[in-house]
Structure 1
């Protein structure tokens, strides 16, 4: 098992690699990561549909556990996820990369993640998955997406901090794994914690809220008849609420959580020259 200092060194070297590799590779890798996280939320939604009879906490635990597949896939396949890319701040703190390299990486990865998430939205829409369980699958998406846009700005920001603390801890701890099983297993609990607790992840929301918007504004009469709900109840699922009420504060919260609460703390403890 690696020591904390050795894990920090591995994380630092990984951050340098991320920030200096070819931009096209970063972009394609980021699209892949956005897709993985979108598919993980599909998995989550399936487990939550029809779970009303389960104890609330147990249902959330199941959902959080299966969602961890998305982050596991990102780590195993080297896909670039914006939230964990905030750890490139460690490489900047050691002066191994420039401000431009760090922010360019963030911008490219964020855009690629967005495209990946929206690609899954399109695929799920075309597949007719929203009609699963007589439309209840789509209703789960609607309720989850609507809940996300009604946090206060401070709530969304703070939930973003808490979320990326867990994501970055999961990725950081995976550095200690010497096998695929080690890496996968060690990431499950931190990811399950953030998902089951309702913390906010900007890349996950790049799938979930646009998926809710698609259903709210473009679902067929057959869908609304199946769930017996007036679509006007979800009229607030729009671009303004998505961007201003959720994505912006959550993104800033994710940055603070990854950079300051995890990355720079570990840099101070184990990497900084004393």
Structure 2
């Protein structure tokens, strides 16, 4: 719905809510092959953003905060490719709860989308890991990139259950807010600029993105010659970060905005 303002203006929040609701309906009804292919692309896009982050922070002498900020801005490439390029990312698709809460799609449709998008994301991310290893990217900087990758994965594998969950929750709240803001833009540049800071913030703050971790953890494990990474810790990280991502996206963003803008449109499926 157009607000009647100039084309340079962003969509209003209530317009964004209805756009995301409509997007949820379309995503829920996508055919399986399309969903899987676009999900694999999204996993690869997030993996490339994760690799970009890894290279950018390697051997940085700019200080902790600034280095992580630059890395976070680099990581934003992944979500930019997903949103502008058109792909199916599990974490962003947690916003399907808005269409579900309005009674426009069924619970089974939501779960179907989440399962297939997660599966496709994992496949895309892991294939990218294999290709990146074969390409020898870890050898950049005289092997420093590989050492950074192991350090990143080791840190993630040693998080406690509550740390991984809460960091996952905060992460996807920011990711879904990035998607929300991007939906408010009218041009490609609007969308790109809307994505940068929320994504850079979650990376800088050390929050956990389950799909990105399907790149960071396998990549680090392959390169870990000194057993610095806990295999069990990798499994618990993925599980807890995924659960946290669902709460952050589906509840903290999706449910809250649904109550604010869409609750009066509720109808039975």
TM-score by length of 2: 0.93
Deviation at 1:3, TM superposition (A): 1.3
1:86 partner SS: helix
Specify the alignment match of 1:207 in structure 2. Answer: 215
Are the aligned partners of 2:96 and 2:110 in contact in 1 as well (CA < 8 Å)? yes
2:88 partner SS: coil
Specify the alignment match of 1:242 in structure 2. Answer: 234
Specify the alignment match of 1:225 in structure 2. Answer: none
Specify the alignment match of 2:162 in structure 1. Answer: 154
Matches within 5 A, 1:189-204: 189-204=197-212
1:82 partner SS: coil
Distance 1:101 1:64 in 2: 33
Are the aligned partners of 1:40 and 1:68 in contact in 2 as well (CA < 8 Å)? yes
1:151 partner SS: coil
Distance 1:166 1:86 in 2: 12
Asked if 1:50 is matched to 2:50, the reply is no
Asked if 1:9 is matched to 2:18, the reply is yes
Distance 1:188 1:232 in 2: 35
Specify the alignment match of 1:254 in structure 2. Answer: 245
Deviation at 1:233, TM superposition (A): 4.4
Are the aligned partners of 2:57 and 2:67 in contact in 1 as well (CA < 8 Å)? yes
Specify the alignment match of 2:193 in structure 1. Answer: 185
Q: RMSD of the alignment, in Å?
A: 1.0
CA deviations 1:232-261 (Å, max 9, x no partner) are 342x342x22112x0000000000000110
Distance 1:85 1:233 in 2: 35
Which of 212, 226, 233 is equivalent to 1:232? 226
Distance 2:262 2:249 in 1: 16
Are the aligned partners of 2:11 and 2:186 in contact in 1 as well (CA < 8 Å)? no
Distance 2:242 2:19 in 1: 25
1:133 partner SS: coil
Distance 1:201 1:191 in 2: 10
Matches within 5 A, 1:61-100: 61-100=69-108
CA deviations 1:127-157 (Å, max 9, x no partner) are 0111111111000000000000111100100
Structure 2: gaps (5+ residues): 1-9
Matches within 5 A, 1:95-106: 95-106=103-114
Are the aligned partners of 2:157 and 2:234 in contact in 1 as well (CA < 8 Å)? yes
Are the aligned partners of 2:158 and 2:230 in contact in 1 as well (CA < 8 Å)? no
Asked if 1:166 is matched to 2:174, the reply is yes
Are the aligned partners of 1:212 and 1:237 in contact in 2 as well (CA < 8 Å)? no
